């Protein structure tokens, strides 16, 4: 790939990095939408999860940022508090059932309720299928698939079975498989299927369950990959109709919509937030353009 193609994408990413403090959250949703409600957002201390947490807090929810690294969670709480929102940091490793139980119990202790669960926490690493170790495979499956399931189960058993609620799972674009990350493709496909099953089993309790499948998003999560692989990921931006990376805000607004009453007739579906990347066809690849500006938070 030609370097001149990469540069604008990198500049875009740098100017939208997670640590940039925005005085207020840019949202299209109405003030007070989530007033009096509580949301757990796994992985809420960084990247896409933090953006979702900030938007939900801005709209009135008390947000629980839940993940392993307290340092990131506390930074997120500080940012949200500075923006006038209500947030708590709760340590949670979704790979450990005891940790999930403790996180859900702590949330109820702190706020007395849970209305929304956003299963955003996850991770993976690039590797050809033939060299993935058993340990690496299980780590990704336990986080992205098993963790998402047991988090949902615990929130349902402790709260949603009595009051209803809404779950949104963040998955990924794995429509055509997931070359170089077979583990996460398998896990995300599993979550897409779990989404349908839970929507069917729990609908009678007033629970809606949907997923959002982002394309390539210019989030801090991409910084974790080694630079060569990151450049490879950036190059996928040309495969969607905007020919740019997506923004955290573009994922967040889709999540907020699915959580909101505006989506009260929607359950069991996966919403692709990828500007058509999952429809890529070599017959008519997207034409580079600047006609599809980003929605920024």
Ligand X SMILES: NC(=O)c1ccc[n+]([C@@H]2O[C@H](COP(=O)([O-])OP(=O)(O)OC[C@H]3O[C@@H](n4cnc5c(N)ncnc54)[C@H](OP(=O)(O)O)[C@@H]3O)[C@@H](O)[C@H]2O)c1
Residues 179-198 that bind ligand X (CB under 6 A): none
| Length, in residues, of the chain | 297
Instruction: Confirm or reject binding of residue 270 to ligand X (CB under 6 A).
Output: no
Q: Which is nearer to ligand X, 219 or 242 (CB)?
A: 219
Instruction: Confirm or reject binding of residue 297 to ligand X (CB under 6 A).
Output: no
For 53, the 3-state DSSP assignment is: helix
Residues 122-141 that bind ligand X (CB under 6 A): 122-123
Rounded Cα–Cα distance for residues 32 and 46 (Å): 24
Q: Which is nearer to ligand X, 76 or 165 (CB)?
A: 76
For ligand X, which stretch binds (CB under 6 A), given 23-31, 114-122, 154-162, 257-265?
A: 114-122
Minimum distance of ligand X from residue 94's CB (angstroms): 4
Rounded Cα–Cα distance for residues 33 and 173 (Å): 29
Rounded Cα–Cα distance for residues 115 and 28 (Å): 21
For 23, the 3-state DSSP assignment is: coil
Instruction: Confirm or reject binding of residue 220 to ligand X (CB under 6 A).
Output: yes
Residues 223-242 that bind ligand X (CB under 6 A): 224
Alpha helices (H) in the chain, listed in sequence order: 3-15, 47-58, 70-82, 97-111, 134-140, 148-155, 161-163, 182-202, 227-234, 248-259
Rounded Cα–Cα distance for residues 10 and 5 (Å): 10
* Binding track, positions 25-54, relative to ligand X; x by CB under 6 A: -----------------xx-xxxxx-----
Residues that bind ligand X (CB under 6 A): 42-43, 45-49, 67-69, 72, 92-95, 120-123, 143, 147, 170, 172, 214, 216-217, 219-222, 224
């Amino acid at each position: 790939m030609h370097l001149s193609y990469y540069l604008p994408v990198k500049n875009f990413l740098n100017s939208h990095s997670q640590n940039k403090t925005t005085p207020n959250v840019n949202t299209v949703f109405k003030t007070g939408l989530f007033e009096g409600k509580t949301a757990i957002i796994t992985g809420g201390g960084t990247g896409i999860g933090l953006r979702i947490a900030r938007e939900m807090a801005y709209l009135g929810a008390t947000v629980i940022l839940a993940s392993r690294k307290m340092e990131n969670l506390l930074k997120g709480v500080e940012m949200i508090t500075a923006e006038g929102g209500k947030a708590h940091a709760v340590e949670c490793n979704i790979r450990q059932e005891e940790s999930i139980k403790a996180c859900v119990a702590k949330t109820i202790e702190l706020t007395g309720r849970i209305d929304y669960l956003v299963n955003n926490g996850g991770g993976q690493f690039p590797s050809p299928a033939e060299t993935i170790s058993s340990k690496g495979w299980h780590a990704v499956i336990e986080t992205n698939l098993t963790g998402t399931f047991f988090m949902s189960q615990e929130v349902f058993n402790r709260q949603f079975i009595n009051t209803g609620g809404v779950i949104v799972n963040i998955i990924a674009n794995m429509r055509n498989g997931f070359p170089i990350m077979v583990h996460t493709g398998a896990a995300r496909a599993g979550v897409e299927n779990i989404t349908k099953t839970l929507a069917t089993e729990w609908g009678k309790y007033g629970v809606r369950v949907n997923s959002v499948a982002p394309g390539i998003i210019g989030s801090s999560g991409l910084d974790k990959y080694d630079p060569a692989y990151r450049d490879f990921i950036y190059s996928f931006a040309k495969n969607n109709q905007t020919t740019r990376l997506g923004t955290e805000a573009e994922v967040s607004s889709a999540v907020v919509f699915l959580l909101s009453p505006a989506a009260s007739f929607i359950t069991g579906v996966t919403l692709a937030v990828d500007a058509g990347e999952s429809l890529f066809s070599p017959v008519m690849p997207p034409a580079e353009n600047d006609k599809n500006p980003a929605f920024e938070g």
